[in-house]
Structure 1
Amino acid sequence: MKRKAEALTQSAAELFGLSGRKLLLGEGNFSFSWALCQLTTGAELTSSCFESCEQHRQRFQASEAREQQLRGRGVRVLHGVDATDLKTLPSDVITPFDRIIFQFPQHPERNKIHLNRELLAAFLKQSEALLAEKGEVVVSLLRGQGGTPFELEERRPKDTWQVQELAMEAGLLLVRVTSFPEAELSTLGYQRTGFRGQGLHGSTKEVYQERGFNSEGSLTHCFARPGDGVTAACPIERRHDISFWVVDPKFSEDLLRRSFPEEFCPQVTLLDEYRSPQDGREARTYRLSVSSSTCCITQAARKPPEISCQPVQ
């Protein structure tokens, strides 16, 4: 049985950073922003929510009072910002950001995993474009959602949000996974609260109630662009089986291995070989195993390069 990785334990200050320019997306009752602004020293915080100002007042208690508190501490508060389309940020918002933080993202149709993946994928791609050179994207997810080896419970990949895969497609490496420091944040005023529709049909389907959620076992995932000193927390191994007719008498497994970029260090395993009794042609089947702790190996990157061979028909 594959051994699970162990999530780090970091203080909120270490995890979210003491200084720098930070963008907080998808805020609910703004209590996370309030807790964070008490930790930071000389940081420039921009806190945003998806709802319009009027919607936020209706959905969250003490919304206006909390916003006034934040503005009193120098935090810029924005409404109507879509984390999947950061062009909704006002044009005068200064970029790039040292931290882009999204706590417990959730699609309105919360039980449809593919929609949550789409939301997360769009957010990560948008965030990568606004990230400072040494910046990080930080996402907290509920227990089991992320689907990394750090989860306390093991789920089938299709039952998770596959956060590491989505990040690589956005050009980001998962560099750190920590336990969400809820206890520490709670002492600073953080309240684990979201909202949920009270009814699903008719006149009540747009009525919302503020309520908490179970965050036991939640993990915070930190992502960064590949670069000097950036190493993946748990490199993913890609496997791809190929079958082909050997047409070059100089072909060798080493040639196949060297046809990949050096940083991928592929492992080449011969699975099967066949020689045609009619014309003597030789066919081979190989398994290519590729992993890297410093590069984003996307679905496109896993395809084998051009080599001296013809696919077996």
Structure 2
Amino acid sequence: MGEVRQDKNEGDRWIQHYCSSHQILLVGEGDFSFAASLARKFGDAVNMIATSLDSKDDLIRCYPFAKTNLKELEDCRCSVLHDVDVHTMVSHPLLLSKSFDRIIFNFPHSGFYFKEDHWLQIFFHVRLVSGFFKSAVDMLTENGEIHITHKTANPYSKWEIEKLAEEVGLYLLEKVPFVIFDYPGYVNRRGSGDRKAETFLVGQCSTFKFALNLAGEFIHLV
């Protein structure tokens, strides 16, 4: 649970796919509990920028532990930004000159408008993820990775996020099962609607790791 390994040669601290020497951008944070989980393991999170679509006031009003998580991030020297839209973040004045080794978006969701298997609901989700990829791809270092944690069962598989990534010049490095207990303190939130602070059953889900297709070659995704 929450595996952390220490690189004795460089002094790096790891938690799963993330290292204290990575420049990390987290987007779409709910109550910032995932960012806080990473920061807690790193000890010093000066390498991290964590962002939310919500304003700070809305976060504190909606999420019971948001204020505590934000204080922990501040103590760990993590930069926190609010009102950040994943579609336009590439032009955000505080992100313009930065490149990242890891860009993380956990359980992207466009909001609750229809049932999850309704074609319009799927369209909204696809539009969200597609816009995120278009912005994020220009914010990666040469060897950087974009990580999306996403449910893989029907109807979520209909988003076809591998194809959306391919459209902007990314390819799938690997897909690994996501285990929420690997990130102590992380509580996933609905993030939208009247019950936005409620958690949800993650069920069958994976972390998709995408990287730049620098060769410009067609890569068949299986």
| TM-score bracket for the superposition, by shorter chain length | 0.7 to 0.9
Q: Partner of 2:197 in structure 1?
A: 210
Q: Partner of 2:11 in structure 1?
A: none
Residue 161 of structure 2, aligned match among 160, 163, 184: 163
Residue 132 of structure 1, aligned match among 131, 141, 144: 141
Structure 1 residue matching 2:21: 3-state secondary structure: coil
How far, CA to CA, are the matches of 2:196 and 2:221 in structure 1?
40
Q: How big is the shift at 1:167?
A: 0.3
Letter in 2 for 1:101: I
- Asked if the contact 2:111/2:193 (under 8 Å) is kept, the reply is no
Residue 27 of structure 1, aligned match among 29, 32, 42: 29
How far, CA to CA, are the matches of 2:93 and 2:133 in structure 1?
19
Tell me which of the two structures has the higher relative contact order, counting C-alpha pairs closer than 8 angstroms and 6 or more residues apart.
2
Q: Quote the sequence identity (%).
A: 25
- Asked if the contact 1:97/1:130 (under 8 Å) is kept, the reply is yes
Q: How big is the shift at 1:181?
A: 2.6
Q: How big is the shift at 1:117?
A: 0.4
Greater shift after overlay, 56-65 or 121-130? 56-65
- Asked if the contact 1:45/1:76 (under 8 Å) is kept, the reply is yes
Residue 211 of structure 2, aligned match among 224, 249, 253: 224
- Asked if the contact 2:105/2:149 (under 8 Å) is kept, the reply is yes
Structure 1 unaligned segments of length 5 or more: list them: 1-9, 148-159, 199-207, 238-313
Residue 78 of structure 1, aligned match among 63, 77, 81: 81
How far, CA to CA, are the matches of 1:82 and 1:173 in structure 2?
23
Q: Partner of 2:176 in structure 1?
A: 178
Judging changes above 3 Å, is the alpha-carbon distance between structure 1 residues 92 and 168 closer, same or farther for their aligned structure 2 residues?
Answer: closer
Judging changes above 3 Å, is the alpha-carbon distance between structure 1 residues 67 and 94 closer, same or farther for their aligned structure 2 residues?
Answer: farther
Deviations 1:18-68 (A, max 9, x none): 422110000001110011113337650000000111111221113222111
Deviations 1:223-269 (A, max 9, x none): 000247x996xx338xxxxxxxxxxxxxxxxxxxxxxxxxxxxxxxx
How far, CA to CA, are the matches of 1:33 and 1:93 in structure 2?
21
Q: How big is the shift at 1:114?
A: 0.7
Letter in 2 for 1:31: S
Deviations 1:122-166 (A, max 9, x none): 10110000000000000000232663xxxxxxxxxxxx1011110
- Asked if the contact 1:146/1:164 (under 8 Å) is kept, the reply is no
How far, CA to CA, are the matches of 2:168 and 2:156 in structure 1?
16
Q: How big is the shift at 1:109?
A: 3.5
- Asked if the contact 1:141/1:220 (under 8 Å) is kept, the reply is yes
- Aligned: 1:104 with 2:89: no
Judging changes above 3 Å, is the alpha-carbon distance between structure 1 residues 227 and 134 closer, same or farther for their aligned structure 2 residues?
Answer: same
- What count of residue pairs does the alignment treat as equivalent? 202
- Asked if the contact 2:112/2:193 (under 8 Å) is kept, the reply is no
How far, CA to CA, are the matches of 2:22 and 2:218 in structure 1?
22
Judging changes above 3 Å, is the alpha-carbon distance between structure 1 residues 162 and 209 closer, same or farther for their aligned structure 2 residues?
Answer: closer
- Asked if the contact 2:112/2:192 (under 8 Å) is kept, the reply is no
Structure 1 residue matching 2:186: 3-state secondary structure: coil
- Aligned: 1:50 with 2:53: yes
Q: Partner of 1:236 in structure 2?
A: 221
Judging changes above 3 Å, is the alpha-carbon distance between structure 1 residues 209 and 165 closer, same or farther for their aligned structure 2 residues?
Answer: closer
Which structure has the larger Rg over C-alpha atoms? 1
- Asked if the contact 1:59/1:195 (under 8 Å) is kept, the reply is no
Q: How big is the shift at 1:85?
A: 1.3
Structure 1-normalised TM-score? 0.59
- Asked if the contact 1:192/1:212 (under 8 Å) is kept, the reply is yes
Structure 2-normalised TM-score? 0.81
Give the alignment's Cα RMSD to 1 decimal: 2.6
How far, CA to CA, are the matches of 2:185 and 2:129 in structure 1?
27
Structure 2 residue matching 1:197: 3-state secondary structure: coil
Judging changes above 3 Å, is the alpha-carbon distance between structure 1 residues 30 and 223 closer, same or farther for their aligned structure 2 residues?
Answer: same
